[in-house]
């Protein structure tokens, strides 16, 4: 009996202790929610932007252009090849008749491991979720710490961070755009001697989830210019700031060691990029390009600054100028500092747009054509920095508007708060319905399509089973649809999309479509002068390669080079359009495939 009482006593004490722990834990959660409820609500808004992907899964609308037709497929092919860490000159089979390992990018890129670990669909969904969250966190802390430090601007920090975070960032770029505010936050902390180990960690970690060639070469260049300005102004070296710049640059060089070595040293193959023909614009056209970039931005790094942000900046700047009129009695805090920041950022945006236009001038064409680095690297990509700059301008302009109406009340509510919330809601309303899917439809010129419809796994499984041979034992080409679809479904493809592949292979593949290119000058220039899309282009079809089953297109005069097809051991043609003269092309129609979950009507032809 005594033992039982002791057991009960110990058990009761343990229960009381556990209850206290639970109460303390629950209380801390409640306190945290009460303290940070505005941030939590903001994050919910940001996450809700990607929630449909988690709900719909394979039936989610996707953006095909430069994403599911290329980058994500490269990662899938590389992951399944078992050659992730292979030497750069090793041949990865199955894609464009086998490409050098160099063509598939760095194995240290975090997005690659997302695709390798979760597959294309869920890797893509997790990726865009992280992009939006990092975009929000980075912009919020950047504004709160370095631009809008006063508590009364908290709603502006949150609102602008939401607007920035839900931009339709280019998914394969990772944090190349959405991570810039976070990187800038870390650098400014170091610059102002307010850094902790977390800032140095951010500088090391961000490169693993960002692209040097897309944006961070230009970001590091811009930060380097800022450091140089500090040196000239203060006559001090600012060693920590310089060390941070060198550290990020060094990490990027290590990550991109394959690319760096290929650019600095002779490679074992001549890249198709050496065959680029760089076109140029006259002065008026270059001016239009610059103006268009300033007003609308670039689709790979969208800002949606027109019309709301630009109007807000215009109003804020007007108030700053009118402060000099005593009769208006406009009291704006830190007027000189705000004007300096606005002018600096606005001039930066203007210079970036001008640079983008200048780089297109035909006057520079001989230089760009003769220097190989201009064919392997795009020096006009400073526009990747503009989205961050525009939203900093947006935030600063909102603070001016807030101060102008701060003392005016309407039904005991400050007009300033109403005005700020309305402007932010208008921008959220403008950006929220957009995604990379909607951007891709506009740029790529195709109708909306889901993941399931695009890759058509069940339909291509039927094709694979009907052929009945090991997929590695034969090659295919695709007409009227992206070759990435066949690649995704395990077929060994001769055509494909690659940023860097042997020029010799481009010429061999060109023989297959030479007759068709002769008929269509637009396609010929597209293939010969660029050629990243090494597709089976044919006259009568444009370069979109999205001929879904509703298009009901027939090719009557197809003229492929059967000899060239045999040389590349092409066994089958997968076509999204009917080829009426297939017999004259030494093809045999094996079957026609339709599936309710697929966007395509597939005609399977055997090469005989």
Tens of pLDDT, residues 447-479 = 899 999 999 999 999 999 999 999 999 999 999
pLDDT in tens, 536-575: 999 999 887 899 999 989 999 999 999 999 999 999 999 9
Nearest to 560 by CA among 592, 587, 542: 587
pLDDT of residue 371: 82
DSSP 8-state assignment for residue 91: E
DSSP 8-state assignment for residue 120: H
Which of 47-51, 258-262, 401-405 is predicted with the least confidence, judged by mean pLDDT? 401-405
325 three-state secondary structure = coil
Asked if residue 287 has pLDDT above 60, the reply is yes
Under the banding of pLDDT at 50, 70 and 90, the label for residue 324 is low
Q: What is the mean pLDDT of residues 246-255?
A: 98
pLDDT of residue 348: 96
Tokens coding 396: 């600063």
Under the banding of pLDDT at 50, 70 and 90, the label for residue 25 is low
Q: What is the mean pLDDT of residues 325-343?
A: 69
Residues shown for the chain: 608
pLDDT of residue 544: 78
CA pair distance 98, 251, nearest whole angstrom: 30
Asked if residue 275 has pLDDT above 70, the reply is yes
Which neighbouring-strand residues pair with 303? none
Under the banding of pLDDT at 50, 70 and 90, the label for residue 413 is low
Asked if residue 266 has pLDDT above 70, the reply is no
CA pair distance 64, 437, nearest whole angstrom: 7
Q: What is the mean pLDDT of residues 480-502?
A: 97
Which of 2-6, 234-238, 353-357, 382-386 is predicted with the least confidence, judged by mean pLDDT? 2-6
Asked if residue 5 has pLDDT above 90, the reply is no
Asked if residue 4 has pLDDT above 90, the reply is no
* Strand 496-497 with 533-534, pairing: antiparallel
Between the two ends of the chain, the Cα-to-Cα distance in Å is 93
DSSP 8-state assignment for residue 606: E
Nearest to 576 by CA among 550, 596, 608: 550
Q: What is the mean pLDDT of residues 38-59?
A: 96
Q: What is the mean pLDDT of residues 108-136?
A: 98
CA pair distance 551, 343, nearest whole angstrom: 51
Label residue 560 exposed, middle or buried (CB < 10 Å: 0-12, 13-18, 19+): buried
Q: What is the mean pLDDT of residues 80-97?
A: 96
How many helices and strands (H and E) does the chain possess?
Answer: 24, 13
pLDDT of residue 503: 96
pLDDT of residue 323: 65
Under the banding of pLDDT at 50, 70 and 90, the label for residue 404 is confident
pLDDT of residue 331: 58
Q: What is the mean pLDDT of residues 118-132?
A: 98
Asked if residue 420 has pLDDT above 50, the reply is yes
pLDDT of residue 90: 95
Which neighbouring-strand residues pair with 593? 602
pLDDT of residue 543: 84
pLDDT of residue 412: 54
CA pair distance 559, 536, nearest whole angstrom: 11
**Best-predicted range by mean pLDDT (251-265, 332-346, 366-380):** 251-265
Give 76 or 8, the one with higher predicted confidence. Answer: 76
Give 458 or 18, the one with higher predicted confidence. Answer: 458
Averaged confidence pLDDT in the chain = 91
Which secondary structure element, helix H or strand E, spans residue 130, and what is its range?
helix 110-142
∠ CA 387-218-253, rounded to 5°: 130
pLDDT in tens, 177-209: 999 999 999 999 999 999 999 999 999 999 999
pLDDT of residue 409: 63
Under the banding of pLDDT at 50, 70 and 90, the label for residue 268 is confident
306 three-state secondary structure = coil
CA pair distance 534, 393, nearest whole angstrom: 42
pLDDT of residue 155: 94
pLDDT in tens, 512-544: 999 999 999 999 999 999 999 999 999 999 887
pLDDT of residue 374: 82
Asked if residue 419 has pLDDT above 70, the reply is yes
Query: With pLDDT > 90 as the criterion, what percentage of the chain qualifies?
Result: 78
Tokens coding 392: 């900093």
Asked if residue 335 has pLDDT above 80, the reply is no
Asked if residue 27 has pLDDT above 70, the reply is no
Q: What is the mean pLDDT of residues 299-327?
A: 85
Q: How far is CA 320 from the centre of its chain?
A: 36
């Amino acid at each position: 009996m005594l033992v039982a009482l002791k057991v009960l006593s110990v058990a009761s004490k343990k229960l009381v202790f556990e209850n206290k722990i639970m109460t303390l834990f629950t209380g801390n959660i409640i306190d945290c929610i009460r303290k940070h409820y505005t941030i939590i609500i903001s994050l919910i808004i940001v996450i809700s932007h990607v929630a449909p992907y988690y709900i719909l899964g394979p039936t989610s609308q996707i953006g095909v252009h430069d994403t599911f037709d290329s980058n994500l497929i490269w990662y899938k092919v590389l992951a399944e090849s078992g050659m992730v860490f292979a030497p750069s000159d090793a041949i990865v089979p199955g894609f464009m008749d086998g490409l050098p390992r160099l063509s598939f990018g760095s194995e240290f890129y975090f997005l690659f491991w997302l695709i390798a670990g979760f597959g294309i669909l869920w890797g893509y969904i997790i990726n865009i979720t992280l992009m939006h969250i990092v975009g929000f966190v980075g912009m919020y802390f950047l504004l709160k710490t370095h631009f809008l430090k006063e508590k009364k601007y908290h709603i502006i920090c949150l609102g602008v961070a939401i607007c920035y975070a839900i931009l339709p960032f280019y998914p394969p770029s990772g944090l190349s755009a959405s991570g810039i505010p976070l990187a800038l936050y870390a650098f400014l902390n170091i610059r102002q001697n307010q850094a902790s180990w977390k800032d140095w960690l951010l500088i090391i970690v961000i490169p693993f989830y960002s692209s040097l060639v897309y944006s961070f070469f230009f970001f590091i260049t811009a930060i380097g210019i800022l450091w140089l300005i500090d040196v000239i102004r203060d006559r001090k070296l600012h060693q920590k700031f310089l060390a941070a710049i060198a550290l990020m640059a060094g990490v990027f060089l290590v990550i991109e060691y394959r690319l760096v070595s290929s650019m600095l040293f002779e490679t074992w193959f001549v890249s198709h990029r050496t065959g680029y023909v760089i076109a140029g614009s006259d002065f008026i056209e270059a001016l239009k390009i610059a103006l268009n970039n300033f007003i609308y931005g670039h689709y790979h790094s969208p800002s949606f600054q027109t019309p709301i942000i630009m109007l807000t900046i215009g109003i804020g700047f007007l108030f700053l100028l009118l402060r000099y009129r005593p009769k208006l009695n406009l009291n704006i805090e830190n007027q000189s500092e705000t004007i300096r920041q606005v002018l600096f950022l606005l001039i930066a945006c203007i210079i970036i747009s001008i640079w983008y236009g200048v780089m297109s001038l035909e006057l520079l064409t001989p230089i760009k054509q003769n220097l190989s680095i201009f064919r392997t690297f795009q020096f006009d990509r400073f526009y990747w920095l503009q989205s961050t700059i525009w939203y900093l301008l947006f935030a600063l302009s909102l603070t001016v508007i807030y101060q102008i109406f701060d003392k005016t009340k309407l039904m005991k509510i400050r007009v300033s708060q109403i005005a700020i919330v309305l402007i932010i809601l208008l921008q959220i309303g403008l950006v929220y319905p957009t995604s990379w899917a909607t951007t891709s439809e506009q740029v790529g010129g195709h109708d909306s399509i889901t993941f399931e419809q695009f890759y058509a796994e069940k339909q291509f499984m039927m094709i694979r089973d009907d052929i009945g041979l090991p997929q590695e034992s034969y090659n295919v080409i695709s007409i009227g649809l992206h070759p990435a679809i066949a690649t995704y479904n395990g077929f060994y493809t001769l055509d494909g999309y690659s940023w860097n592949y042997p020029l010799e292979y481009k010429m061999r593949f060109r023989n297959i479509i030479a007759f068709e290119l002769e008929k269509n000058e637009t396609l010929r220039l597209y293939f010969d002068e660029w050629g990243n899309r090494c597709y089976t282009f044919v006259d009568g079809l444009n370069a979109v390669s999205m001929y879904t089953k509703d298009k009901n297109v027939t090719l009557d005069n197809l003229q492929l080079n059967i000899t060239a097809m045999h040389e590349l051991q092409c066994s089958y043609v997968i076509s999204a359009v009917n080829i009426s003269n297939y017999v004259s092309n030494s093809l045999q129609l094996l079957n026609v495939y339709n599936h309710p979950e697929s966007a395509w009507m597939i005609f399977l032809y055997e090469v005989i």
